[in-house]
Amino acid sequence: MTALAAYTTSSGEAFQFWVLGTIAVLGALGTVFMKKTVHSALCLAGTMIILAVFYLANGAYFLGIVQIVVYTGAIMMLFLFVVMLVGVTAADSLKETIKGQRWMAALCGLGFAVLLVGGIGNASLSEATGLAQANAGGNVEGLASLIFTKYVFAFEITGALLITAAVGAMVLTHRERTERARTQRELAEQRVREGKHLPPLPAPGVYARHNAVDIAGLLPDGTPSELTVMQTLRDRGQIRDVSDEALDDLRALEQRSEERLGRDEAGFPRSAATAAGAGESGKTEGPK
C-alpha cells in the first residue's frame, strides 16, 4: 500500500485511473441528467465510491474509508430518505423554464472547465513528492497528530458547526404540537357533528380495473373521488386518473351491445309520440 503512494505511479494505477475516471465522469453526468431523482442519487453514489478508491490510490487511506462510510453510507442514504419523502416516482421535466438559462449554464460550465484545465496545465506540477515519508508512521496517526495539534481549533469549530447544524435541522423540520392530540373518540364525535362521511373513508381503487392505492375510487356516476386516495399521494400529485378510461370502456360496451341487439333508430319505426318520448329518455340515459 505504501508503495502505491510513491512518487512514481505504477501502470496499474494508470489503468485504474483511466477506467474508473471514465466511470466517475459518466456517473457525474448521470447525476446531472437523470430524470428521476433516485437515479441521480445512485449515479452520485457510484461516483463517490470511485472517488473513495482514488483517495486510497493517493495514499489518503483514512479519507477513503471515511468517504465510503460517511459520504456514500450516511449522507447519500439521507438523500435517498428525503427523496422517498418527497416522492420517489416523481420525475422532473427537463424542459427549461427560464429563458436562456440552459445556454448560459452550458457556456459557463464549459468555459469554467476550459479555464481550470488551462490553469492546471499552465501550473508547473510535473513533479510529485509522494506520501511515503508523511505516511511513514501510518496515515491515521499522521492525520491525528495534525488534527490535535496544528488544526485543533479548526477541529473544535467544525464540531460546534456540526452541533449547530443538527440543532438547526431540528428547528427547521420539527413542529411543536400546540394542542393535545385528539383521541379516536373525539374524532368520531366530530365526524358525527359535521354530518359528512360518517363511515370511514372509502377505499381506493374501488370500481376500477386497477386495485391500487394511487388510483382514485370511482363514484357511481363514474367520476373519481379524491377522498379515496391518501393525503400524501394527493400532495405529491401522484393520483392516477382512470375515470376517462372507465367512461370510454363503458361507452364502447354500450355501443357494442346496441349493435348486437340491432337497436338503431331506422330499424324500429314507432308512432310519433312514443318515438319522441323514447328518444328523449334514451338521450338522457345515453351518456351514462
Partner 1 sequence: MENLIALLVAAPLLGAAVLLCGGRRLDRVGHVIGTALAFASFGIAVGLFVDMLGRSTEDRSLHQHLFSWIPVGGFQADIAFQLDQLSMTFVLLITGVGSLIHVYSMGYMEHDERRRRFFAYLNLFLAAMLILVIADNYLLLYVGWEGVGLASYLLIGFWQHKPSAATAAKKAFLVNRVGDIGLSIAIMLMFTTFGTFAFGGVLEATGETGEGKLTAIGLMLLLAACGKSAQVPLQSWLGDAMEGPTPVSALIHAATMVTAGVYLIVRSGTIFNAAPDAQLAVVIVGAVTLLFGAIVGCAKDDIKKALAGSTMSQIGYMIMAAGLGPIGYAFAIMHLVTHGFFKAGLFLGAGSVMHGMNDEVDMRKYGGLRKYMPVTFVTFGLGYLAIIGFPGLSGFWSKDKIIEAAFAYDDGIRGWIFGGVALLGAGITAFYMTRVMIMTFFGEKRWQPDAAGNEPHPHESPKSMTIPMIVLAFGSVFAGGLFSLNEAFVKWLEPVTEFHHPHPVISVPAITASTVVVLLLGAGLAYLQYGRRPVPVTPPKGSLLTRAARRDLLQDDFNHVVLVRGGEHLTRSLVYVDHSLVDGVVNGTAAGFGGLSGRLRRLQNGFARSYAVSMFGGTAILIAATLLMRAV
Partner 2 sequence: MNPVNYLYLAALLFSIGATGVLIRRNAIVLFMCVELMLNACNLALVAFSRMHGNLDGQIIAFFTMVVAAAEVVVGLAIIVSLFRSRHSASVDDASLMKL
Name residues contacting partner 2, limited to 126-155 (CB under 8 A): 126-135, 139, 142-143, 146-147, 150-151, 154-155
- Residue 202 interacts with which of partner 1, partner 2, none, CB < 5 to 8 Å by class: none
Q: Which of 126, 160, 137 is nearest to 7 (CA)?
A: 126
The DSSP H or E segment spanning 218 is strand 217-218
- Min dist CB 99 to partner 1, Å, is 9
- Largest separation between any pair of C-alpha atoms in the chain: 110
Enumerate helices (H) and strands (E) in the chain, giving the number of each. Answer: 11, 2
The residue from 14, 29, 70, 108 that contacts partner 1 (CB under 8 A) is 108
Span 27-56, contacts to partner 2 by CB under 8 A: 28-29, 31-32, 37, 40-41, 44, 47-48, 51, 54-55
CA dist., res. 154 & res. 67, Å (int): 20
> Strands 224-225, 217-218: parallel, antiparallel or unpaired by DSSP?
antiparallel
Span 110-129, contacts to partner 1 by CB under 8 A: 111-112, 115-116, 118-119, 122
Query: In the complex with partner 2, which residue's Cβ is closer, 19 or 275?
Result: 19
For residue 89, the 8-state DSSP code is: S
b or e along 70-81 (b: 16 or more beta carbons within 10 Å of the residue's beta carbon)? ebbeeebeebbe
Q: Which three cell numbers stand for residue 45?
A: 453514489
The residue from 156, 189, 235, 249 that contacts partner 2 (CB under 8 A) is 235
- Residue 122 interacts with which of partner 1, partner 2, none, CB < 5 to 8 Å by class: partner 1
Give me the residues that bind partner 1 (CB under 8 A), please. Answer: 98, 101, 104-105, 108-109, 111-112, 115-116, 118-119, 122
